[in-house]
Chain A
Amino acid sequence: SQTIHQWPATLVQPVGSPLSLECTVEGTSNPNLYWYRQAAGRGLQLLFYSVGIGQISSEVPQNLSASRPQDRQFILSSKKLLLSDSGFYLCAWRGGTGGQGVTEAFFGQGTRLTVV
């Protein structure tokens, strides 16, 4: 079966420090991968998505970047965090082979990032 791992679960970082959040998927190949951010009362904001290795689409210009160095690995990064980067970050996957035509998205458990 397919699983998605996201870490760390919580993170407190000072303003101006770098960020690296990692997400990996198991049990499927060539998944479509997504990073969402969730701010209180604002629903899910799509940040980045990737349909393959090295292919990144950015939905919102901001202080963050994403990379997909391997088929089932998706990384969210920042060189210098801002206070406004605080939030709950969710990784998700959809589609892919081995998922038998999976069309719903599956989510990781999220990372609570607090920038201080």
Chain B
Amino acid sequence: AQSVTQPDIHITVSEGASLELRCNYSYGATPYLFWYVQSPGQGLQLLLKYFSGDTLVQGIKGFEAEFKRSQSSFNLRKPSVHWSDAAEYFCAVGRHSGNTPLVFGKGTRLSVIA
């Protein structure tokens, strides 16, 4: 069965510090991986996605993620966090076919302090 684990429920970082949000997945085939961000009371916005090729993918808002097949991980990183990055972050996995739903992790809430 497909599953996604985000080990950190809540992370607090200082503005300007680097960030890494962890994501581990369990999937029987080649996974399609996604990171989404959600601001309070809003829908989810896609940050980046990985399908194949270069294992380091760049996304919007200065985020990047690295796919590591051997570790079944797809961690999200940002070199310097801005206060506006405070939000909830979700990792998701799915098949290429859009007929199947994406499976989401439970999310990591990011707080940014001055």
Residues in chain A within 8 A of chain B (CB atoms): 6, 31-32, 34, 41-44, 46, 49, 51, 59, 88, 90, 92, 94-96, 99, 102-110, 112
Chain A residue, CB-CB nearest to B98: A95
Interface size on B, residues (CB 8 A): 25
B102–A105 touching, CB < 8 Å: yes
Q: Which residues of A contact B41 (CB under 8 A)?
A: 88, 110, 112
Chain B residue, CB-CB nearest to A32: B98
Chain B residue, CB-CB nearest to A108: B43
Report Cα–Cα, A31/B99, bound state, in Å: 9
B99–A32 touching, CB < 8 Å: yes
Beta-carbon contacts under 8 Å, B36-81 to A: 36, 41-46, 49, 51
Report whether over half of chain B's contact residues are helix, strand or loop; otherwise say mixed.
loop
Report Cα–Cα, A107/B34, bound state, in Å: 13
Partner of B101, one of A49, A102, A109: A49
Known A43-B106, A49-B101, A103-B32; judge A90-B44 contact (CB<8 A): yes
Q: Which residues of A contact B36 (CB under 8 A)?
A: 107
Known A32-B98, A94-B98; judge A104-B46 contact (CB<8 A): yes
Q: Which residues of B contact A110 (CB under 8 A)?
A: 41-43
**Sample of 25 A–B contacts (CB below 8 Å):** A31-B98, A32-B101, A41-B9, A43-B105, A43-B106, A43-B107, A44-B90, A46-B101, A88-B41, A92-B44, A94-B98, A95-B99, A99-B98, A102-B98, A103-B32, A103-B49, A103-B51, A104-B46, A104-B49, A104-B102, A105-B101, A107-B36, A109-B42, A110-B43, A112-B41
